[in-house]
Amino acid sequence: MKFIPALSAFLFTSLVALHAGEAPITLWPQGAPGAFGTTAKDIPTLTPHLPARANGAAMLLIPGGSYSGIFEGQGDPFARWLNEQGISVFVLRYRLGSTGYRYPAQLQDAVRAMRHIRKNATQWKIAPNRIGVMGFSAGGHLVSTLINRPEDGEVGDADNTERVSARPDLAILCYPVISMITKPHLTSRRNLIGASPNEELIRKTSSELQVRPGLPPCFVWHTGEDKMVPVEHSLLFAAALQQHRVPHELHIYQHGDHGTGLMGTDHPWMGDLLFWLRAHGFK
| DSSP-assigned states of every residue in 75-117 | SHHHHHHHHHTT-EEEEEE---GGGT--TTHHHHHHHHHHHHH
- 89 versus 20: which is more confidently predicted? 89
Q: Tell me the mean pLDDT in the region 46-60.
A: 97
Residue 163, pLDDT score: 82
Task: Provide the 3-class DSSP secondary structure of residue 55.
Answer: coil
Confidence of residue 162 (pLDDT cuts 50, 70, 90): low
Residue 168, pLDDT score: 98
Question: In 3D, which of 95, 85, 256, 110 has the Cα closest to residue 171?
Answer: 110
Strand partners, 47: 91
Residue 264, pLDDT score: 87
Question: In 3D, which of 60, 197, 239 has the Cα closest to residue 135?
Answer: 60
Q: Tell me the mean pLDDT in the region 21-30.
A: 90
* 231 in a structural domain: yes
Residue 58, pLDDT score: 98
Q: Tell me the mean pLDDT in the region 4-28.
A: 53
Residue 95, pLDDT score: 98
Asked whether the beta carbons of 114 and 168 are under 8 A apart, the reply is yes
* CA atoms of 54 and 83, how far apart (whole Å): 8
Look over the chain and give the mean of its residue pLDDT values, rounded to a whole number.
92
- Give buried/exposed letters for 84-117 (b at 16+ CB in 10 A, else e): bbbbbbbbbbbbbbebebbbbbbbbbbbbbbbbb
pLDDT above 90 (res 152) = yes
Residue 156, pLDDT score: 75
Confidence of residue 20 (pLDDT cuts 50, 70, 90): very low
* CA atoms of 26 and 23, how far apart (whole Å): 10
* CA atoms of 233 and 213, how far apart (whole Å): 19
Q: What are the pLDDT digits (tens) for 206-233? A: 999 999 999 999 999 999 999 999 999 9
pLDDT above 80 (res 270) = yes
Q: 252: domain CATH number?
A: 3.40.50.1820
* 17 in a structural domain: no
* CA atoms of 255 and 236, how far apart (whole Å): 20
Confidence of residue 22 (pLDDT cuts 50, 70, 90): confident
Least confident piece of the model among 23-27, 122-126, 260-264: 260-264
Q: Tell me the mean pLDDT in the region 78-89.
A: 97
* CA atoms of 68 and 188, how far apart (whole Å): 8
Residue 225, pLDDT score: 97
Residue 153, pLDDT score: 97
Range of the domain at 46: 25-279
> Percent of the chain at pLDDT above 70?
90
Helix, strand, coil shares, percent, the chain, to 5? 35, 15, 50
| Sign of the C-alpha dihedral computed for residues 244, 109, 188 and 103 taken in this order | negative
* 271 in a structural domain: yes
Residue 6, pLDDT score: 37
Q: Tell me the mean pLDDT in the region 8-19.
A: 36
Q: Tell me the mean pLDDT in the region 113-142.
A: 97
Question: In 3D, which of 222, 223, 221, 231 has the Cα closest to residue 273?
Answer: 221
Q: Tell me the mean pLDDT in the region 69-85.
A: 94
Confidence of residue 178 (pLDDT cuts 50, 70, 90): very high
* 125 in a structural domain: yes
* CA atoms of 109 and 170, how far apart (whole Å): 18
Question: Beta 171-174 vs 131-136: how paired, if at all?
Answer: parallel
Q: Which residues are CB-contacts of 259 (< 8 A; sequence separation ≥ 6)?
A: 1, 2, 73, 137, 175, 228
Q: Tell me the mean pLDDT in the region 143-166.
A: 86
Question: In 3D, which of 67, 66, 63, 65 has the Cα closest to residue 77?
Answer: 63
Confidence of residue 158 (pLDDT cuts 50, 70, 90): low
* 5 in a structural domain: no
* CA atoms of 109 and 249, how far apart (whole Å): 27
* 224 in a structural domain: yes
Cis status, amide bond into 104, omega within 30 of 0: yes
Which stretch of DSSP H or E encloses residue 268? Answer: helix 268-279
* 73 in a structural domain: yes
* 15 in a structural domain: no
In degrees, to the nearest 5, what angle opens at C-alpha 238 toward C-alphas 215 and 67? 80
**Domain tally, the chain:** 1
